[in-house]
């Protein structure tokens, strides 16, 4: 199994910590965020991991080498010359990812998601499957009754984005995105056919293409998820990890 870890971001919400180190190496419970994410992926049976890098890229690469690549096949998608956002980051890593479906995981997401369970719930026809939950936020993906993506809304501003004109968000299922998705490598042919290139968010891609290509949401029955990319949640992430580091889903050590 293969995964892409988004670790290229500037980590602006974590300044001043990220003025001197990359977000991926911000410590939580004595270990960098990257360590915790890779531990979880490895425990789920993922043995090939692509990490994209931009902010302090040599620090991330050096840390991984110091860890002997965590005992898995780690490769780097280098974005040091230009940060490509999430969609552009996937496209840039194309040569490292083609050959089958792959998991995408943000480096600052700490959760108790059972990754094997999630993958088992994805549909073969899906271009992408998104982990979503009923977590309270202001921005939600919108799904139909079959959990197929139909749009997005910002509840604070009332903005709605959808390829379906006149979509009523109140008639849709609303779920928050968890920053974890499972993507078919067919996505690269869609990038080519529709002219996606350069820097772009993967959410923009999903919202434009979901009418033509099925993108589904998967809702875990119980999900604890922490966005550790903010100072106020780092302590919360540490407490969570103290209770989970020795569980099967993380493994005792990578």
Phi, psi dihedrals of residue 33, rounded to the nearest 5°: -50, -40
Asked if residue 254 belongs to a domain, the reply is no
Q: In angstroms, rounded to a whole number, what is the distance separating the alpha carbons of residues 202 and 76?
A: 19
Q: Are 160 and 170 in contact (CB under 8 A)?
A: no
Query: Cis ω on the peptide bond leading into residue 94 (within 30° of 0)?
Result: no
> Tokens at residue 87, please?
């969609």
Tokens of 115: 């990754």
Q: Is residue 37 part of a domain?
A: yes
Q: How many domains does the chain divide into? A: 1
Query: Is residue 238 in some structural domain?
Result: yes
Q: Is residue 132 part of a domain?
A: yes
The model's pTM: 0.91
The whole-number pLDDT of residue 234 equals: 84
How does DSSP classify residue 148? B
Residue 130 domain flag: yes
pLDDT of residue 14: 65
- 77, β-bridge pairs: 52
CA distance 8 to 77: 9
pLDDT tens-digit profile, the chain (254 residues): 899 999 988 767 767 767 888 889 988 888 999 999 999 999 999 999 999 999 888 899 999 999 999 999 999 999 999 999 999 999 999 999 978 999 999 999 999 999 999 999 999 999 999 999 998 899 999 999 999 999 999 999 999 999 999 999 999 999 999 999 999 999 999 999 999 999 999 999 999 999 999 999 999 998 999 988 778 888 888 888 887 755 555 554 43
Q: What is the domain extent for residue 151?
A: 2-242
Return the CATH number at 211.
Answer: 3.90.550.10
Tokens of 211: 């009418």
Q: What are phi and psi of 151, to 5 degrees?
A: 170, -165
Cβ pair 141, 149 in contact under 8 A = yes
Residue 252 in domain: no
What is the predicted pLDDT for the residue at 254?
39
Helices (H) and strands (E) in the chain, counts: 8, 14
- Containing 49, the helix (H) or strand (E) segment is strand 48-53
DSSP helix/strand/coil, 229: coil
Assess if residue 107 is contained within a domain.
yes
């Amino acid at each position: 199994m293969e995964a892409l870890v988004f670790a290229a971001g500037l980590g602006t919400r974590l300044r001043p910590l990220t003025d001197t180190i990359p977000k991926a190496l911000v410590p939580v419970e004595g270990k960098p965020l990257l360590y915790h994410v890779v531990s979880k992926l490895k425990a789920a049976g993922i043995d090939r991991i692509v990490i994209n890098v931009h902010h302090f890229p040599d620090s991330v690469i050096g840390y991984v080498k110091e860890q002997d690549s965590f005992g898995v096949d780690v490769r780097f998608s280098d974005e040091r010359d230009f940060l490509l956002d999430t969609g552009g980051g996937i496209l840039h890593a194309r040569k490292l990812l083609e050959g089958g479906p792959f998991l995408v995981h943000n480096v600052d997401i700490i959760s108790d998601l059972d990754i094997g369970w999630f993958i088992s719930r994805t549909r073969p026809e899906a271009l992408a499957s998104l982990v979503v939950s009923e977590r309270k936020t202001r921005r939600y993906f919108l799904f139909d009754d079959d959990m197929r993506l139909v749009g997005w809304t910002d509840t604070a501003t009332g903005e709605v984005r959808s390829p379906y004109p006149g979509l009523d968000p109140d008639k849709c299922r609303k779920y928050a995105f968890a920053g974890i998705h499972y993507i078919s490598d067919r996505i690269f042919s869609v990038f080519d056919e529709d002219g996606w290139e350069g820097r772009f968010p993967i959410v923009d891609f999903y919202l434009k293409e979901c009418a033509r290509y099925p993108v589904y949401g998967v809702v875990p029955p119980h999900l604890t998820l922490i966005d550790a990319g903010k100072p106020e949640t780092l302590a919360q992430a540490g407490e969570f990890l103290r209770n989970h580091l020795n569980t099967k889903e993380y493994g005792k050590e990578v």
